[in-house]
Amino acid sequence: MSDSTSSPFFAAAIYSGNTPGFLCCAGPWQLAEAQAIEAHIAACLQGPALPIDITIDTQAVSALDTSGGWLLHRLRRNLEAIGHRVHFTGLRPEFAALLDLIALRTAPAPVATTPPPGVLARIGRAVWESGQGALGLLSFLGESTLAMARALRHPRRMRWRAIVYNLQTAGVAALPITGLLSFLLGIVIAYQGAEQLRRVGANIYIADLVGLSMLRELSPLITAIIIAGRSGSAYAAQIGTLKVTEEIDALRTIGIGSFDLLVLPKVIALIIALPLLTVYTDVMGILGGMVMAHAQLDVGFTTFIDRLDAAVSLTSFMIGIGKAPVFAIIIALVGCYQGFQVNGSAESVGQQTTISVVQSIFLVILVDAMFSIAFSWLKL
């Protein structure tokens, strides 16, 4: 086929015959030639005006596929639309069958497509959609609270196995990565502070710096961000996939509430796991700071810990830990909510998973900022 199409002698063509109104077609009328054929047709029609009766000779057509058939059919249709009578001669039976099939299946008129919306309409739609998203998240929060209240009244019906499983995957399995990252963060903070403190000879205050910043702010925040990326995305992807495969509908028809089975265990497990992880990252972060203080400022481990005891109050520690359950609720709810927003295609699982991570990290940082303002009002 490739030989015949590359040689000009065999190239597909249509040209006006000797008598007026006589069009000859030749060569392979196939997809590979479609663009060239279209140009030939246009050239034919631009020639001298055609009489009412037109004969199209297809004797020399060596092959006809659907694309070639379409061009032939379109030529006939366009000619008939402006009042010509079109006849085919030399049409092989299989070509005639193809033309009949094309004529049968194609709609007489193309459908009108709606024009794309203007800028204003698009802005309006985007605002409306983000408003709807916020409302949706809020109503999801309400539904979860109700489900939680129901579950607390009937603790026997709680899915304890699912909770334990989620504790394992979101909590225990996250220990290495959260530990490593907060240890590194402790090192970084101490390293940055060391330079400044040495200049004023206040080496010992490294314990204040690392202790306060890690316990109050950084360790709850870094843990929440890691868990949002690690578990929040997994929640969205899992629930989204269940939605695509209609397993959520299956659960509902069996009579198992998807909230009870899929959302509550995740929320409860994360409310337990995130504060515990935060305590752990507190320890790891301070450990990192201690190592750096020892290496850069010659502050021994015992000296560091003595100073830490004086510098960091229990309130600071509790403030850090106290934020963790709030972050946990945000991460679990946003992850699950975005999972439920998947609309049935594999593509949207990926989209909603991305949105869940971006949204939960955004909300975690926003809420953290609000906590800071509230605590400064309360002078804590």
In the complex with other proteins, the residue whose CB is nearer, 241 or 313, is 241
Nearest-approach distance from CB 102 to other proteins, in angstroms: 7
In the complex with other proteins, the residue whose CB is nearer, 105 or 156, is 105
In the complex with other proteins, the residue whose CB is nearer, 65 or 368, is 65
Measure the CA–CA gap between 117 and 127, rounded to whole angstroms. 15
Q: Which residue is it, tokens 């006849």?
A: 87
Nearest-approach distance from CB 206 to other proteins, in angstroms: 52
CB 190 within 8 A of CB 286: no
Measure the CA–CA gap between 274 and 271, rounded to whole angstroms. 6
Instruction: Compute CA 3 distance to the chain's CA centroid, rounded to the nearest angstrom.
Output: 46
In the complex with other proteins, the residue whose CB is nearer, 70 or 165, is 70
In the complex with other proteins, the residue whose CB is nearer, 31 or 366, is 31
CB 25 within 8 A of CB 13: yes
In the complex with other proteins, the residue whose CB is nearer, 107 or 119, is 107
Nearest-approach distance from CB 68 to other proteins, in angstroms: 9
Nearest-approach distance from CB 110 to other proteins, in angstroms: 7
Residue 161: C-alpha distances to residues 72, 124, 166, 202, 262 (Å): 67, 46, 9, 52, 12
Q: Is 273 helix (H, G, I), strand (E, B) or coil?
A: helix
CB 231 within 8 A of CB 170: yes
Q: Where on the chain is the footprint of other proteins (CB under 8 A)?
A: 30-32, 34-35, 38, 65-67, 70, 74, 94, 97-98, 100-102, 105-107, 110-111, 113, 343-348
In the complex with other proteins, the residue whose CB is nearer, 99 or 185, is 99
Distance from the first to the final alpha carbon of the chain? 82
- 299-306, long-range: CB < 8 A, 24+ apart: 299/203, 299/204, 299/206, 299/207, 303/204, 304/206, 304/207, 305/207
Nearest-approach distance from CB 204 to other proteins, in angstroms: 59
Token reading at 189: 């903070």
Nearest-approach distance from CB 96 to other proteins, in angstroms: 9
Residue 170: how many CA atoms within 13 Å on its side-chain side?
34
Nearest-approach distance from CB 100 to other proteins, in angstroms: 8
Measure the CA–CA gap between 171 and 180, rounded to whole angstroms. 15
Token reading at 348: 């949207």
CB 186 within 8 A of CB 292: yes
Residue 261 has what DSSP assignment?
A: I
Nearest-approach distance from CB 31 to other proteins, in angstroms: 5
In the complex with other proteins, the residue whose CB is nearer, 7 or 66, is 66
CB 263 within 8 A of CB 144: yes
In the complex with other proteins, the residue whose CB is nearer, 105 or 154, is 105
Nearest-approach distance from CB 22 to other proteins, in angstroms: 25
* 24: β partners: 15, 57
Token reading at 85: 């009578």
Nearest-approach distance from CB 246 to other proteins, in angstroms: 12
In the complex with other proteins, the residue whose CB is nearer, 105 or 199, is 105
Residue 253: left if φ>0, alpha if ψ -120 to 50, beta else—which one? Answer: alpha
